[in-house]
Amino acid sequence: MSLFSGWGDLWDVATGSEQRRGEAADARLEELNRAKRERGEWTDSQYNEAERNRIEGSTGSTRGEVLGAAAQGAAEGLAALPGQVRETLTAGAGWTLALVPWWGWILALGAVAYYLGAFTRARNILAK
């Protein structure tokens, strides 16, 4: 298992591919429900109940919730570190962050994304 295996799931949520997959599943379920009613397998009340359950069970957009939870988890992880380690990281980051200009952080983020394969994944997703 790769060190960065969880990044793929977070990438899917961040890019919306997981959202699109959920919407497609909801649309397919709606088609199946409608087909059962049209074939006479369900009464109108059964169909209405199934549709109500489908709508209530739909997750909607989870992108903000998942990304927020990831940020919260990172903050909790830092807070859970032993005091000396946490102080070292935050003290070092305090002056280091001030030395690097904002555009340097953007370039660094782009380099990290490149090395993690984000651009290759994005190209593969867009090619589909």
pLDDT in tens, 66-114: 677 777 877 787 777 676 666 776 666 666 666 777 788 889 998 998 8
pLDDT of 25: 86
* pTM metric for this prediction: 0.41
What residue segments make up the domains of the chain, in order of their start? 1-80, 83-128
pLDDT in tens, 17-76: 777 788 888 889 899 999 999 999 999 999 999 988 888 877 666 666 767 777 787 778
Q: What is the DSSP code string of the chain?
A: --TTTTHHHHHHHHHTHHHHHHHHHHHHHHHHHHHHHHTTSS-HHHHHHHHHHHHHH-----HHHHHHHHHHHHHHHHHHS-HHHHHHHHHHHHHHHHHS-HHHHHHHHHHHHHHTTHHHHHHHHHH-
**Cα–Cα distance measured from residue 116 to residue 4, given in angstroms and rounded to the nearest whole number:** 8
